[in-house]
Amino acid sequence: MNSVVQTAQQGGKADKRPALPFVLAAPAVFALLVFLVLPVAVLIGESLTGPGGALEPYVKFLSSGYNQRVIWRTLQIAGATTLLALALGLIVASALARIGGTLGQILLFLCVFPLLTSALVRSFAWMVILGRQGLVNTGLQGIGLIDAPLSLLFNPTAMVIVTPPAMVIGLVYLFTPLAILTLKGAIEAIAPQVREAATTLGATPIRLFTQVTLPLLVPSLIVSAVLIFTGSLAAFATARLLGSERHMILPTLLHEKVMVSFDWAAGSVIAAVMLVLSFAAITLFNALGRRANRMVD
């Protein structure tokens, strides 16, 4: 009889245990709903209140040639930042993984130390470095390569593909530490026996990197790319300080509509477009990651 009672009690406890994770997760879910989902829902609802219909504000915004150029410039700068930051992060992370030890930890700290500084301060620092009387111009004039200071901050012809270059430089400096942190751990997680086996089978350093190391880093590269690309889409401070009115991107356009023109309807449309672009980028990077994994398999 006692065994039956104990079995029933244990069964009742077992029935209650599956609900425990939901109870523990309830505060976090509530916070996400209140502070993330609800504001986004209100924002999207505000953008769907055009007098000509729900989609009228979006049609008006997307049909403007100026807004199309702003969107393209935003994607262009975010894409260039992502590629450059990933390349630099991969190189530095590989070097740090090879060094290891105390020296490697010190160098890693120096690489990620800028993360402890405000993005505003780092952007101001690049203004000093790239200004007409900055370190770059002063150094080039000092060694006789140029006679007059170069316009590096707001020169629309300084780069053929991406303008302005100062904004891209600032964003790369801003997000490269994230790539280093993400990739260093992934590189160190690759067993040395894998590289040794590939080398024993005759793999050259280039083939070792392209056919062994790089495929194993695809998940970490995807995570880094998502963080960098979505962060670049919303990087207002760097774009505001290192760009100009001629180089408007979506974050600075949003600031102008809301804080200067007080056009909250247009601002909500821009914010919704940025949100859609971020989700589209995440979906695209995930698809590329799955495709890369299938090719490796």
Task: Return d(Cα 109, Cα 103) in angstroms, integer.
Answer: 10
- pLDDT value at 54 more than 90: no
CA atoms within 13 A of residue 180's CA, in its CB half-sphere: 24
| Nearest alpha-carbon partner for 242 in 88, 89, 71, 119 | 119
**What pLDDT shows up at residue 34?**
87
The DSSP code for 21 is: H
Q: What is the mean pLDDT of the chain?
A: 80
Highest average pLDDT, of 36-45, 174-183, 193-202, 203-212, comes from 174-183
| Nearest alpha-carbon partner for 184 in 99, 84, 280 | 99
User: 50 - beta bridge partners?
Assistant: 53
Highest average pLDDT, of 43-47, 245-249, 270-274, 288-292, comes from 270-274
**What pLDDT shows up at residue 155?**
55
pLDDT digit string, tens, across residues 163-174: 557 788 888 988
Task: Return d(Cα 116, Cα 92) in angstroms, integer.
Answer: 19
Single pTM value for the model: 0.79
